[in-house]
Amino acid sequence: MGTYVVRRTLFAIPTLLAISFIIFAILDLAPGDPTSQLPLTIPVEVRERILESLGVNDPFLIKWLKWMQLMFINEPLHAIDSIFGTCIGDCEARARIISWSSRAPAIDVIYQRIPQTLWVLGLAFIFGTLIAIPVGIISAYKQYSAFDNIGTFVTMIGFSVPTFFTGLLAIVIFSVWLGWFPSFYDTTLVVNSWDSFVLQVKQMIMPVAVLTLFNAAVLSRFTRASVLDNLNEDYVRTARSKGLGENKVVLTHVMRNSLIPVVTLLALSVPGIFAGAIITEQIFRINGLGQLLIVAIGQGDIPMVQTLTFIFAVLIVVFNLVADITYGLLDPRIRYD
């Protein structure tokens, strides 16, 4: 297993390099102008001056190599400096990846977004999982019962109805008609008292609920299918005939085996938390990482798009590896060399 991990990690490096090159190439070839949102009256010389100052007109390889140096050397050094309070090399004048629309270091802007993304989407992920697994297990155990049929119906709705519909519906019912919850998410809210905590909960309920419904729907179907598979296995019959109670059979033996693929699935969907549910973020104005990506694309802010997509790529590669390792750990039948 150790060799496997090392080999996969080493493999990840050229993979990520290739990914960064492809992302860079696509974005560089794509049209899109960071000055397209300026008033049309801005004279052409001024536009050209702005583009020149942003480095838009440099040749492709120069831009890529520059970005690589900033991303793989300068940014990690900056991170180490700020975490440990050190000053490595020329820490004052160190160049960083600068976003074209906000002229701020891209990594700092991304870092600012992480709290709201993690809170809302992370919670939705956790709640979705906590709801989906029991529902899936019970649905499979009591296949075709009333619980199963209702569960199927609800989950069908959950993943067929798009989040922008459920989100808007929630806003109309709870914000407009009832006035219980705010319709947008205030990122500057500091939780330091009971009142602000209540406010934080209030502004999180709707987006978390909408996303939980969606996550739970998908996951519960999958769990149900996995449990159904295992309920027909021989070892279950053996366990029953040995006299084990149903609880023990299901909760100890069946659940553990069914959860193996489910856990790997969960590991693979963690990068999805960071990419954010872009539509839901827009609906509730959560302004997380997904919204940042969309806005940056629309504004032609290439450095931000590159940095974000590369970070997502790294997360996917890493969690792919985590999923494989988890699978190998949980299922003793799987052996990597």
Partner 1 sequence: MKRTRLLALLAVLAMVVAACGGGDGEETTTTADGGSDGPTTTAGETPEPTDPPAGGAAGEGGPLLILQWQAVSQVNVLLSSGTKDALAASLVLEPLAEIGPDGSLVPALATEIPTVDNGGVTEDFTSITWNLRDDVLWSDGTPFTADDVLFTYEYCADELTGCQADFSQIESIDVVDDHTVTLNFSAPKPYPYDDFVTYLEPVIQRAQFADCVGEQASACTEQNFNPVGTGPYVVTELLPEDTVTYAMNENYRGVPDGKPFFGTVTIKGGGDAEASARSVLEIGEADYAWNLQVAPEILAPMEAAGNGTIVTSFTANVEHINLNQTDPDADPPSEWTPDGATAHPVLANNPEFSRALSLAIDRDAIVTVGYGPAGVSTCTLWPVEGQATTNQDWCLTRDVAAANQILDDLGYLDTDNDGVREAEGFGPLEFDFVTSTNAVRQATQDVVKANWEEIGVVANMSNQDAGLFFDGTSASDFSIWKFFADMEMFTNGATIPDPSAYLLSWITDQIPTGALGWPATGNMPRMSIPEYDETWATLSQTAPTDPAYTDLVIQLQDIMIEGGAIIPLTYRGNVSAIRSDIQGLGDPNGWDSEYWIIEEWTRSG
User: How many CA atoms does the CB half-sphere of 192 hold within 13 Å?
Assistant: 3
What's the min distance (Å) between Cβ of 112 and partner 1? 6
Considering the complex, what minimum distance in angstroms separates the CB of residue 337 from partner 1? 18
Minimum CB distance to partner 1, residue 319 (Å): 11
Residue whose CB is less far from partner 1, 44 or 146: 44
For partner 1, the closer CB: 64 or 274: 274
* CA atoms lying within 13 Å on the CB side of residue 160: 6
For partner 1, which is the closer residue by CB, 137 or 283? 283
Task: Pick the closer one to partner 1 by CB: 205 or 244.
Answer: 205
Shortest distance (Å) from residue 18 CB to partner 1: 19
Per the listing, tokens 């808007």 go with: 168
Q: Which is nearer to partner 1, 192 or 247 (CB)?
A: 192
Give the three-state DSSP class for 105. strand
Q: How many C-beta neighbours within 10 Å does residue 61 have?
A: 9
Nearer of residues 5 and 118 to partner 1, judged by Cβ: 118
Q: In sequence order, which residues have a C-beta less than 8 Å from that of residue 157 and are 6 or more positions away?
A: 217
Q: Round to whole Å and give the CA distance between 253 and 237.
A: 11
CA atoms in the 13 A half-sphere facing the CB of 254: 32
52 vs 246 by CB, closer to partner 1: 52
Contacts of 186 (CB under 8 A, 6+ apart): 199, 203
- What is the distance between the alpha carbons of residues 180 and 158, in angstroms, rounded to a whole number? 23
| Closest distance to partner 1 from the beta carbon of 48 (Å) | 8
Q: CB 163 → partner 1: shortest distance, Å?
A: 6
Helix axes 194-231, 123-141, angle to 10 degrees: 30
Nearer to partner 1, 8 or 244 (CB): 8
Residue 209 buriedness (CB in 10 A; 0-12 / 13-18 / 19+): middle
What does the alpha-carbon distance between residue 310 and residue 304 come to, in Å, rounded to a whole number? 10
Burial class (CB in 10 A: 0-12, 13-18, 19+), 179: exposed
Residue 123 CB, nearest approach to partner 1 (Å): 10
Amino acid identity for residue 11 in this structure: F
- The distance of closest approach from Cβ of residue 130 to partner 1 in the complex, given in angstroms and rounded to an integer, is 17
Please state, in angstroms and rounded to a whole number, the distance separating the CA atoms of residues 128 and 212.
Answer: 5
**Is 188 in contact with 286 (CB distance < 8 Å)?**
no
Least distance to partner 1, CB of residue 146, Å: 26
Q: Smaller CB distance to partner 1: residue 102 or 244? A: 102
